[in-house]
A and B are shown apart, each in its own frame.
Chain A
Amino acid sequence: MLEIRGLKVQLNSAHGVIHAVNGVNLSLARGQTHALVGESGSGKSVTALAVAGLLPPRQTTIRGHILLDGTDLTMLSERQMRRIRGGDIAMIFQDPSAALNPVRRVGGQVAEALTAHGMSRREARVKAHGLLSDVGLYKPDQLARNYPFELSGGMKQRVVIAAALGPRPKVLLADEPTTALDATIQEQVLRLLHRMTVDRGTAMLLITHDLAVAARAAGQVSVMYGGTIVETGDTAAILRHPRHPYTVGLLGAVPRLSRATVPLRGVGGEPIDSRAVPPGCPFAPRCQWAVARCWTQPPVLTPAAAVGDETGSGGYPHLAACWNQVLPAEVTVGKPARPGFHRADGPAGRHGAVSAP
């Protein structure tokens, strides 16, 4: 349904060119939820904004193709794009308070999404009440007359979801939809998004920094770092057998009730500066598994060596962009455990000189 091919986005800021997205390939089928996971600055939000055509055209250079049912969105005029945005492609953002107009009643705002795409006002009002009840809001007729400030954060996000899914979009781009919400409400909203998208056959691109949220909500996961997808596959495969060191780091950073006594590991170091694209793997400076080759040659997505029970489980290939993929036994310790592995420390190790342990 949605296919992203070789997407590259450069943002031209006063401080130089930012290479936000450097060649992303992704495809999304009906009713599927695909999570884009990464730290801030990894390019995950920019990817979604590019799909929605919401990047300022003068300051951005977009290369590659974004195909929605065969139509290349990058070729469309702003006028054609307006018809698609809110119609075929809907977006939900992190902060529901910013998404709603504070001086208009919420019912009218849900209805507006429908009238903007050709429904009559009266029809839209009735439909809006139905949508508010679909998203689990109690007494929708009364609630429709409320202003956003009268609702809690979770209720506002439900209103935003109702407005986004009203015109029956083909693709829903959800950018950190639950990050601003409490844990109990987050769970309800994730469940709601799942039900609504599966029922309507909407494909959802879920953007989050939290692998645990992705694990709960998505069938497939792509992990982004420095503007590229470094690992992609079925959620179960990635959780059980992560092959990219960055994914291993992210998994180690998630707090777990059952392992509260094990210290959190996380990913060491700081995210890269996307103004300068390194010649090799963007993750190499933070990577424990880095070998000489990582500093010079950018790795490409290659099939992860099949391990255990994941083969053919969901049909979605498990790929990782890494010259020195993590072995299953090394995941639990979070560092290389193979005999004879010495970390090539920094560009000094480029010529094969490996540092002593």
Chain B
Amino acid sequence: MTSGGLLRPGPGQEPTAAWSPACQLLSVRDLTVEFRNSEGMFGRRHRVLRALDGLSLDLQAGQSIAVVGESGSGKTTLGRVICRLQRITAGQVLFRGQDVRALRGADLARFRRSVQIIFQDPYASLDPRIRVGSIIAEPLTVNRIGTAVERRAKVADLLDTVGLPRSLTRRFPHELSGGQRQRVAIARALALSPQLIIADEPTSALDVSAQAQVLSLLDSLRRELSLSLVYITHNLPTAAYVADRAAVMYLGRIIESGPVTDVLLSPRHPYTVALCTAAPTLDSAERAVARRHQTEARGEPPDPASPPAGCRFHPRCWFRPQVPDGARCAQTEPETRASGGHGAACHFSHLLQEWTAKPGCQEPGRGT
């Protein structure tokens, strides 16, 4: 890290009266987001799709969380809500103790500077007609920070920070590879020294080797700049590289959360087990376990507009045939049971833990 300027608190970081660093940086309370779709002739019928359904989440300053789930789980909606890019139906999002929805004027401007987002597709998120230097300087220009000369110096610093040569300043996005573009997007997000960065599938559009570079960059940034990161992904194995905690989402709810290595290596929800074993892996031992035990989510995720009754995962659950009272899964919605900061919403997570601990059956995530 070369820039002293980057490490100094930015304009959005002086503590407000209501907030002290001991509080949660981000706190999401019973968040519900609904979308109404018009159907039928002239849109007379309405269908309500509940993308987020009473979701709660806390994040301490300097901590990072990975939000993992399939498409349709609501993970992207969650990211957008945190950035105030999406309206809330019910519930609250608190950033530094303040209700994000109530922010106005200077407070809102400060919030906008402290929370930045990196999108999935760096081919779409960078304006093709603007040079890299101007793209990275744009947040500074918009917020009227610094003189042109200072901005140019800051851009050079930011390029160093994300590991790109300064010579790229005059280039256009189309001259860059996917990995380089995503690093430009990261540099732009860092320009205002934010406290929280939402990274929405930042590596899904990239090659495996570019993904490795971007993940290690995000990891070193969050450590060196004490940033908080909300890392949204469908690829569970990548979570551990950039996050301290993981939250697994299914149909608008968090079904398991805890320290990232606990969630990955000793999952307590059958869906998490399925995600662990579904990810292609190089460890032959892991492959063997997956094949032997068929710990696979069956079929497709259900329509989020009409989620199944009881446990939302029960129609696809591979573990249900093995539990004594499978009918319960279809009837009552499981509560989240937690111990040691690691919780899962499954009636039979204690049985799942026994099952994974059985001899001859390694814990699903663990190779040799």
Contact A257 B213 (CB under 8 A): no
Contact B367 A183 (CB under 8 A): no
Which of A138, A183, A249, A266 lies at the interface centre, i.e. has the most chain B CB atoms within 10 A of its CB?
A183
Contact B178 A40 (CB under 8 A): yes
Distance in Å: Cβ of A150 to nearest Cβ of chain B: 11
**CB-CB contacts below 8 Å: A260-291 with B:** 260-261, 263-267, 270-271
Contact A257 B208 (CB under 8 A): no
Contact A258 B300 (CB under 8 A): no
Distance in Å: Cβ of B277 to nearest Cβ of chain A: 8
- Complex: how many Å from CA A186 to CA B268? 23
Tell me if B23 counts as interface (CB < 8 A to partner A): no
- Complex: how many Å from CA A185 to CA B298? 9
Tell me if B236 counts as interface (CB < 8 A to partner A): yes
Contact A183 B275 (CB under 8 A): yes
- Residue of B209, B215, B260, B367 near A258 (CB, 8 A) is B367
Contact B177 A257 (CB under 8 A): no
Contact B177 A270 (CB under 8 A): yes
- Complex: how many Å from CA A253 to CA B237? 12
With A39-B209, A250-B208, A271-B177 as contacts: A184 and B265 at CB distance below 8 Å = no
Tell me if A154 counts as interface (CB < 8 A to partner B): yes
Number of interface residues of B (CB under 8 A): 50
Please classify the interface of chain B as helix (H, G, I), strand (E, B), loop, or mixed, using the class held by over half of its residues. helix
Contact B300 A257 (CB under 8 A): no
Tell me if B77 counts as interface (CB < 8 A to partner A): no
Contact B282 A260 (CB under 8 A): no
With A183-B234, A266-B216 as contacts: A251 and B207 at CB distance below 8 Å = no
Contact A184 B240 (CB under 8 A): no
Which residue of chain B has the shortest Cβ distance to A151 in the bound complex? Answer: B300
- Complex: how many Å from CA A190 to CA B280? 10
- Residue of A153, A155, A211 near B282 (CB, 8 A) is A211
Contact B366 A257 (CB under 8 A): yes
Number of interface residues of A (CB under 8 A): 44
Tell me if A187 counts as interface (CB < 8 A to partner B): yes
Q: Please, which residues of chain A bring their CB within 8 A of the CB of B281?
A: 212, 215-216, 254, 256-257
Contact B368 A183 (CB under 8 A): no
Tell me if B306 counts as interface (CB < 8 A to partner A): no
Tell me if B278 counts as interface (CB < 8 A to partner A): yes
Contact A270 B180 (CB under 8 A): yes
- Complex: how many Å from CA A37 to CA B120? 23
Distance in Å: Cβ of B98 to nearest Cβ of chain A: 34
Contact B282 A254 (CB under 8 A): yes
Tell me if A252 counts as interface (CB < 8 A to partner B): yes
Tell me if A152 counts as interface (CB < 8 A to partner B): yes
Question: What are 16 inter-chain pairs, A to B, with CB distance below 8 A?
Answer: A39-B210, A41-B177, A183-B236, A183-B278, A184-B274, A184-B297, A185-B70, A187-B278, A190-B280, A216-B287, A239-B282, A254-B208, A258-B365, A260-B241, A264-B216, A266-B208
Of all A-B residue pairs in the complex, the 8 with the closest CB atoms, nearest first, are A266-B212, A260-B240, A258-B367, A212-B280, A253-B212, A255-B237, A264-B212, A187-B278
